[in-house]
């Protein structure tokens, strides 16, 4: 029998880590690897598997036919571990100690922090023989026989353990299917120091041996049978480079492992048995592929050197590196960076304006290839590629420019209102009188000298005359009766001297009190002027402006009398004690009579009335001065009242598509943040609303100076500065050189604005306008056929499946539980909840206003007739002191300020979330516009121009805690995409200069896109955004569909399906927050609002809303037969706002509807599955997101890709075929393919890119509660410590 030399003992297949990290993905030089798909013929598939090998080994005198992975390796042995972890290149052909490559604990190849807890952690040598032993004899005599006997005994024991493990698994799981052993192939190059072929440059996946020769078992149906590995082996370019002194041969070893190893904990079952090996001579390979000009696939066959499979063969299919797709080829997107400039710091042109060393904005793509046997001669080569988008950062920069400009307008508007409100109070807080006058206020000064009492004598208890209160003080309250408000403003409370009036006596003219104030100037035709102001006297009717009156209230306490004189009289008390009643007195001063008076300031004596008797009680000595700005410069005839309409053009609230909710009968003064349309709406209200509006107009201001000043300074000015900072930083990132030290940081530590924003930066305020972890994930399929017997290979690009993956578009920095500024209530939740609160706040304002109007009406009815009248006294002003009216007015002001503050908070949050969502949506749209084959097969471009581009967001967040807030943010941000339309223009288009070239932002490192510009139009809820994308003239002419030319806009049609898929959602469905109780978290993950009130109803509401929109879209794209015209045409807006719309369920969506209808209280992943499938069949695209965009998102996108390739194979080359619905798909086959993609594909490098570790942030407990299609592979879990960083204190966020 043929004796085959066993592989070196230093090889450990278990030490190979199948997980690709960034180091492997980004090893230089990029794009120069050779992709080898390996197919085994039927002779390599050994009947009986491991059991046959063990029997053969027992019968053979040479025990080196197999290799035990668990065997201990001498510390003197040498292997190269750097090469094992860097299969992409940068391979150092030097040695390291084998101790570094021996990784106890299983096939992940990574050291476990819990190995010290395992009693079997120590490795055991099972049947290991030193590689120095000779195949011809070696040990002799009794020692040889004893060793041989021991090996045979161990083989028999291992066969027994394997059988027991298999039977135990069948008994416990109820699965009586045959458990198949596993095969894998590893590629090895020679160690330059030891001469052994023990440097692993790559391995295929471990694949089950087929039970029969069929395509379903991943076995070709050709005459040779056999099996094809899904995962190819990549040959680094250094291996092919003769200058590096690379060895001229690659050895391929075929290994077998027991299928029961995954069910048993026995380490003996984890060993790999060696089946055989093949040799590939690199000079022969170079000739075959024309290295280094390798541009087309080739095939060759290598014989397998094996005693157990002497007829075995390995067929190799070699392909060029597919990391970078060809321009305009399959898998390429218009949003992809250009490969010649994006990943290096050298300018593409010697005459470029930018410096020679430019900013490196992009990380290279992540890629992986998969092989799927298709039929007897064909194999599908699927290339999974994850690429950053060139439009994410320009979109964020353009949006922040708009938001910075709008927020600065809103901040200036708020400060202007605050300054106006400042003048309605006393003058103590006014620092700039001239500014007050410029704002339409008069500058007034009131001085009070004394009060002179009439009738100084009163009758004491003994009947004698007495002088009352001579030389005492009296308390005074001063109120401004504005001509535009029924409520008086209190200007001052003070005390003044009180004297008995004595004829011909001289009194002091020194002011006891001096009060500055700044009343608003009201014009004669001002709508807020109270009735009756211009009637009465001829003087009043001739006035053009009014500033109001002063009502001075005097309160005289009771003053006791004794006998015939005052107790303080020099005469002393003359008898018993007498008591006089306290008196309430009042005087009125008409300021309008003295406005801009040219007379010298002189003392006026106002008649003081006793409110009890209505008789004159004395006189009040005052001086008054009142001036307007025009009066001070002798322009009396030009006096201007304050007639500002308080309109703000281009403010933030209107820009983000919001109305203030005060544009109807709730409108009150001061009008804040009203745009022109809102103002016109207020002016055109109907009679009923107009009456209420006029009533509110007479009630003064419902925003106070203290609130408005605090709001303007602490909120608006601060947010405006932040928007401006983001705008400057984002723009700088696009056009300026790289910052010092930036280039050396790994992606997960970058905190400068870039197209890729890692999920670890969610709480970074500077980056809050950039969508994070945004990638275009393409899955392109190429049909590879081999012509026998010539072996000619042809490859035809066939199909493309694309998704965008990202983190949740939410304002993570602002959080979901804000304390608010001093004096304001805290707010919690995301946008959807906040906007519901805002609607409730507006209704509360309306209710309180109505109550206040009723209370004022009742006051007039009850008190007008009972009030004593005297000349100059107003019957239209309500004095303070009415508790019911005062409390209602205070509550109304508080409610209005709450609504005002909440509106601003929502506007800022909308700005950040919308900026993120727009970058995601635009990347998805460009990816589908680039799919030339898709646009050729169907008239999708025409559908998009007529009905909009369908964007289906698939959310995987749980409806509890912070993630509930993220859902609420995302739902509103996604809905805002309905405001967006996209057009393509060219560099010579006449539209380039329209709208301003200053807003044309460069799209850096794009091969065909030059710039983009975002132009808003409209007001409030009618706001729209036009996104113009300038493309190269030739690309425009050859690749842009005719339907999208001539500046034809395509409107976005966004919908959101949402379903929680983790343990927290399971807890919500179970009626308790079990996710928090059972999920261990690190200190980095703890959040003050992690335990929130769950709201499972929001998922049901969102899914029904999304279904109404998709159903309406489906009826437009694929109209159903409706002879009697009974199916209504429903718009996106109607489906969004009304849950009562009834429309026939489209046949394409019946399964989806059934899933939604039955989803209450359970984790129904089928909703997302069917929604994504329907979206693609309707010509749209999908964006998949979770909290970070890396873990649950990875499970979903790989599951979709596995479904797609299954449908493609079984649906006659159509991945979206109705050949098989989700219910008839082979769930196990799809799950197995998805698992391979989750372990070997691009998603683990995405995790590495975000948090610095290529692991999914799940633990085994969390995985148990996830839906079956989304369960992660155990070998790729971060574990309970979210990354296993036991001592560093770090971890991976989940």
CA distance 946 to 1233: 38
Q: List, in sequence order, every beta strand (DSSP E) within 931-1088.
A: 949-955, 980-986, 1001-1002, 1009-1017, 1024-1031, 1050-1058
Q: How confident is the model at residue 170 (pLDDT cuts 50, 70, 90)?
A: very low
Mean pLDDT for 1274-1278 is 88
d(CA 628, CA 632): 6
The pLDDT, as a whole number, for residue 736 is 77
Q: What is the pLDDT of residues 884-905, one digit of tens each?
A: 999 999 999 999 999 999 999 9
The contacts of residue 1244 (CB under 8 Å, 6+ apart) are 19, 20, 21, 1194, 1238, 1254, 1255, 1256, 1276
pLDDT at residue 77 above 70? Answer: no
Which range of 7-21, 79-93, 1230-1244 scores highest in mean pLDDT? It is 1230-1244
Q: What is the pLDDT of residue 579?
A: 47
pLDDT at residue 822 is higher than 60: no
Q: Look-up: residue for tokens 């879990």?
A: 1277
The confidence band for 780, taking pLDDT boundaries of 50, 70 and 90, is very high
Adjacency order of strands within the sheet including 561-562 = 565-566, 561-562, 577-578
Cα–Cα dist 628/434, whole Å: 10
Among 151-165, 947-961, 964-978, 1100-1114, the minimum mean pLDDT is found in 151-165
Most confident of 301-310, 532-541, 1159-1168: 301-310
Query: Cα(744)–Cα(742) distance, rounded to whole angstroms?
Result: 6
Q: How confident is the model at residue 71, as a pLDDT?
A: 36
Please tell me the predicted confidence (pLDDT) of residue 142: 53
Residue 211 has what pLDDT? 73
- pLDDT above 50 for 575: no
Looking at every residue in the chain, the average pLDDT score rounds to 80
- Return the beta strands (E) in 788-861 as ranges: 792-807, 817-818, 827-828
Q: Which residue has the higher pLDDT, 87 or 717?
A: 717
| CA–CA separation, 719 and 722 (whole Å) | 5
Of 64 and 741, the one with more pLDDT? 741
Residue 23: exposure state from Cβ atoms within 10 A (0-12, 13-18, ≥19): middle
Q: What are phi and psi of 747, to 5 degrees?
A: -55, -35
Which whole number is the average pLDDT over 50-63?
Answer: 71
* pLDDT confidence tier of residue 731, bands split at 50, 70 and 90: very high
Which of 77-81, 242-246, 380-384, 1028-1032 comes out lowest in average pLDDT?
Answer: 77-81
The most confident of 47-51, 426-430, 674-678, 809-813, by mean pLDDT:
809-813
CA pair distance 615, 697, nearest whole angstrom: 35
Alpha-carbon distance of 740 to 326, in angstroms, equals 33
pLDDT on residue 1270: 94
pLDDT at 1087: 43
- Quick check: 361 and 342 in contact, CB under 8 A? yes
- Residue 530 pLDDT: 87
Residues above pLDDT 90, as percent of the chain = 44
Check residue 1284 and give its pLDDT: 38
Please give the pLDDT value at position 879.
Answer: 87
Token pair 């996209």: residue: 982
Q: What angle do CA 984, 985, 989 make, to 5 degrees?
A: 165
Range 1074-1095 burial, b when 16+ CB lie within 10 A, else e: bbbeebeebeeeeeebbebebb
- DSSP calls for 564-604: TEETTSTT---SSEE-PPPEEEEEEEEGGGGBT--SPP--E
State pLDDT tens for residues 949-971. 999 999 999 888 899 999 999 99
pLDDT of residue 1048: 95
DSSP state of 739: P
H or E element at residue 368: strand 366-373
pLDDT score for 789: 67
Q: What is the pLDDT of residue 572?
A: 42
Cβ-contact 608, 451 below 8 angstroms: yes
Q: Is the pLDDT of residue 1259 over 90?
A: no
pLDDT of residue 104: 33
Tell me the average pLDDT across 466-486: 80
Question: Mean pLDDT lowest for which of 397-411, 663-677, 1025-1039?
Answer: 663-677
Mean pLDDT of 1167-1174: 94
Cis, bond preceding 789 (omega within 30 deg of 0): yes
| pLDDT tens, position by position, 660-681 | 998 888 888 888 888 888 777 7
Is the pLDDT score of 1103 beyond 70?
yes
Mean pLDDT of 104-113: 36
Per-residue pLDDT, averaged over 684-688, amounts to: 74
pLDDT at 145: 57
Tokens of 1058: 């949402």
Residue (of 158, 126, 143, 136) closest to 61 by Cα position: 136
Residue 1140 has pLDDT above 80, yes or no: no
**What's this model's pTM, rounded to 2 decimal places?**
0.84
- Over residues 1175-1179, the mean pLDDT reads 94
Q: How confident is the model at residue 1154 (pLDDT cuts 50, 70, 90)?
A: very high
CB neighbours of 442 closer than 8 A, spacing ≥ 6? Answer: 518, 519, 521, 547, 591, 595, 626, 627, 628
More confident residue, 530 or 775: 775
Q: Please write the tens of the pLDDT for every residue from 221-254.
A: 344 578 999 999 999 988 887 665 666 899 999 9
CA distances from 436 to 418, 710, 733 (A): 11, 19, 43
**Tell me, what's the pLDDT at 725?**
96
Closest CA to 14 of 102, 127, 74, 136: 102
143, pLDDT greater than 60: no
- CB burial readout 29-52, b (16+ within 10 A) else e: ebbbbbbbbbbbbbbbbbeebbbe
Q: What's the pLDDT score for residue 567?
A: 39
| Placement of tokens 């009304």 in the chain | 1138
Confidence at residue 1026, expressed as pLDDT on a 0 to 100 scale? 97
pLDDT at 68: 41
* E runs forming strands in 741-862: 775-787, 792-807, 817-818, 827-828
pLDDT of residue 398: 96
């Amino acid at each position: 029998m043929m004796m085959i030399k066993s592989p070196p003992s230093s090889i450990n297949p278990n030490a190979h880590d199948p997980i690709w990290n960034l180091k492997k993905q980004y090893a230089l030089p990029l794009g120069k690897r050779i992709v080898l798909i390996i197919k085994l013929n039927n002779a390599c598939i050994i009947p009986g598997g491991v059991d046959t090998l063990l029997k053969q080994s027992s019968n053979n005198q040479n025990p080196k036919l197999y290799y035990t992975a668990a065997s201990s390796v001498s510390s003197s042995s040498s292997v190269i571990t750097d090469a094992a972890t860097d299969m992409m290149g940068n391979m150092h052909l030097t040695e390291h100690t084998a101790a570094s490559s021996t990784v106890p604990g299983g096939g992940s190849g990574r050291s476990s922090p819990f190995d010290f807890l395992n009693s079997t952690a120590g490795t055991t040598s099972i049947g290991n023989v030193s590689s120095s032993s000779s195949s011809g004899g070696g040990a002799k005599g009794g020692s040889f026989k004893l060793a041989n006997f021991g090996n045979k005994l161990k083989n028999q024991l291992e066969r027994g353990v394997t059988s027991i493990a298999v039977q135990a698994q069948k008994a416990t799981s109820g699965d009586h299917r045959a458990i198949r052993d596993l095969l894998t192939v590893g590629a090895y190059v020679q160690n330059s120091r030891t001469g052994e072929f023990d440097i692993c440059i790559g391995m295929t996946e471990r694949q089950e041996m087929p039970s029969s020769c069929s395509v379903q078992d991943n076995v070709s149906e050709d005459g040779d049978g056999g099996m094809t590995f899904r995962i190819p082996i990549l040959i680094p370019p250094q291996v092919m480079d003769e200058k590096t002194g690379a060895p001229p041969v690659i050895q391929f070893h075929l290994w077998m492992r027991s299928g029961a190893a995954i069910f048993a904990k026995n380490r003996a079952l984890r060993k790999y048995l060696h089946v055989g090996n093949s040799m590939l001579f690199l000079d022969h390979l170079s000739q075959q592929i024309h290295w280094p000009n390798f541009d087309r696939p080739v095939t060759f066959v290598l014989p397998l050197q094996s005693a157990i499979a002497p007829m075995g063969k390995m067929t190799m299919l070699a392909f060029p590196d597919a990391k970078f797709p060809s321009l305009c080829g399959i898998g390429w997107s218009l949003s992809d960076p250009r490969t010649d400039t994006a990943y290096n710091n050298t300018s593409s042109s010697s005459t470029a304006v930018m410096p020679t060393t430019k900013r490196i904005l992009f990380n290279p793509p992540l890629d992986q290839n998969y092989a799927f046997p298709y039929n007897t001669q064909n194999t599908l080569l699927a290339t999974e590629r994850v690429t950053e988008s060139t439009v994410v950062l320009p979109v964020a920069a353009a949006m922040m420019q708009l938001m910075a400009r709008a927020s600065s307008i809103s901040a200036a508007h708020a400060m202007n209102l605050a300054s106006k409100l400042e003048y309605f109070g006393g003058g103590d807080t006014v620092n700039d009188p001239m500014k007050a006058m410029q704002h339409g206020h008069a500058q007034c000064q009131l001085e009070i000298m004394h009060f002179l009492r009439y009738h100084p004598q009163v009758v004491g208890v003994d009947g004698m005359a007495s002088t009352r209160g001579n030389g005492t003080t009296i308390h005074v309250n001063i109120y401004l009766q504005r001509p535009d408000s029924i409520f008086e403003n209190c200007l001052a409370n003070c005390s003044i001297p009180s004297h008995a009036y004595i004829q011909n006596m001289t009194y002091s003219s020194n002011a006891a009190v001096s009060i500055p104030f700044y009343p608003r100037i009201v014009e004669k035709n001002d709508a807020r002027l109270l009735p009756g102001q211009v009637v009465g006297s001829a003087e009043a009717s001739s006035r053009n402006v009014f500033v109001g009156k002063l009502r001075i209230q005097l309160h005289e306490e009771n003053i006791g009398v004794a006998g015939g004189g005052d107790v303080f009289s020099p005469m002393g008390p003359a008898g018993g004690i007498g008591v006089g009643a306290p008196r309430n007195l009042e005087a009125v001063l008409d300021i309008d009579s003295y406005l801009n008076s040219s007379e010298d300031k002189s003392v006026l004596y106002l008649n003081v009335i006793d409110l009890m008797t209505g008789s004159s009680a004395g006189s009040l000595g005052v001086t008054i001065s009142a001036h307007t700005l025009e009066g001070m410069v002798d322009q009396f005839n030009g006096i201007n009242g304050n007639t500002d309409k308080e309109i703000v053009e281009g403010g933030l609230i209107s820009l983000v598509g919001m109305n203030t909710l005060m544009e109807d009968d709730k409108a009150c003064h001061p009008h804040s943040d009203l745009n022109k349309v809102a103002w016109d709406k207020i002016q055109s209200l109907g009679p009923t609303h107009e009456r209420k509006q006029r009533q509110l107009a007479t009630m003064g201001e419902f925003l106070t100076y203290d609130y408005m000043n605090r709001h303007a300074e602490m909120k608006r000015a601060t947010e405006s500065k932040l928007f401006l900072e983001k705008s400057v930083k984002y723009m700088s990132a696009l056009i300026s050189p790289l910052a010092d030290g930036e280039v050396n940081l790994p992606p997960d530590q970058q905190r400068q604005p870039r197209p890729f924003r890692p999920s670890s930066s969610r709480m970074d305020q500077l980056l809050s306008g950039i969508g994070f972890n945004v990638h275009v994930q393409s899955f392109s399929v190429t049909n590879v056929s081999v012509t026998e017997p010539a072996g000619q290979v042809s490859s035809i690009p066939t199909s493309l499946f694309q998704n965008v993956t990202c983190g949740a578009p939410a304002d993570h920095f602002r959080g979901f539980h804000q304390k608010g500024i001093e004096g304001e209530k805290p707010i919690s939740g995301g946008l959807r909840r906040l906007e519901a609160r805002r609607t409730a706040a507006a209704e509360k304002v309306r209710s309180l206003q109505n109550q206040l109007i009723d209370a004022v009406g009742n006051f007039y009815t009850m008190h007008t007739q009972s009030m004593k009248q005297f000349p100059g006294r107003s019957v239209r002003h309500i004095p303070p002191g009415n508790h019911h009216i005062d409390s209602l007015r205070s509550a109304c002001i508080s409610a209005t300020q709450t609504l005002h503050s909440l509106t601003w908070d929502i506007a800022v949050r909308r700005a950040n979330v919308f900026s993120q969502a727009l970058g995601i949506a635009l990347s998805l749209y460009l990816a589908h516009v680039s799919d030339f084959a898709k646009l050729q097969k169907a008239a999708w471009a025409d559908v998009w121009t007529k009905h909009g581009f369908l964007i289906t967001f698939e959310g995987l967040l749980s409806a509890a805690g912070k993630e509930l807030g993220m859902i609420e943010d995302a739902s509103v941000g996604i809905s805002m995409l309905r405001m967006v339309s996209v057009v393509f223009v060219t560099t010579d288009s006449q539209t380039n200069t329209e709208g301003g070239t200053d807003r044309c932002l460069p799209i850096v490192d794009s091969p065909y896109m030059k710039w983009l510009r975002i132009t808003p139009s409209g007001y409030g809820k009618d706001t729209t955004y036009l996104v113009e994308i300038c493309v190269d003239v030739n690309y425009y002419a050859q690749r842009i569909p005719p339907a999208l030319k001539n500046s034809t806009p395509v409107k976005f049609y966004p919908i959101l399906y949402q379903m929680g898929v983790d343990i927290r959602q399971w807890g919500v469905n179970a009626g308790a927050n079990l996710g928090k109780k059972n999920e261990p978290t690190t200190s980095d993950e703890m959040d003050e609002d992690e335990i929130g009130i769950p709201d499972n109803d929001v998922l049901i509401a969102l899914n029904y809303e999304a279904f109404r929109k998709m159903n309406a879209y489906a009826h437009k794209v694929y109209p159903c037969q409706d002879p009697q015209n009974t199916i209504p045409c429903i718009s996106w807006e109607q489906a969004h706002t009304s849950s009562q719309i009834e429309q026939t369920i489209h046949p394409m969506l019946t399964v989806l509807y059934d899933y939604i209808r039955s989803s209450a209280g359970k984790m129904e992943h089928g909703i997302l599955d069917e929604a994504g499938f329907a979206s693609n069949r309707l010509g749209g695209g999908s964006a998949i997101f979770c909290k970070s965009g890396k873990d649950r998102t990875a499970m979903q996108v790989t599951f979709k890709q596995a479904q797609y390739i299954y449908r493609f194979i079984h649906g006659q080359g159509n991945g979206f075929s109705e050949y098989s619905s989700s219910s008839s798909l082979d769930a196990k086959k799809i799950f197995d393919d998805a698992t391979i993609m989750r372990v070997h594909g691009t998603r683990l490098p995405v995790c590495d890119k975000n948090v610095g570790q290529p692991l999914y942030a799940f633990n085994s407990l969390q995985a148990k509660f996830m839906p079956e299609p989304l369960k992660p592979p155990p070998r790729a879990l971060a574990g309970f410590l979210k990354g296993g960083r036991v001592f560093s204190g770090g971890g991976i966020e989940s």
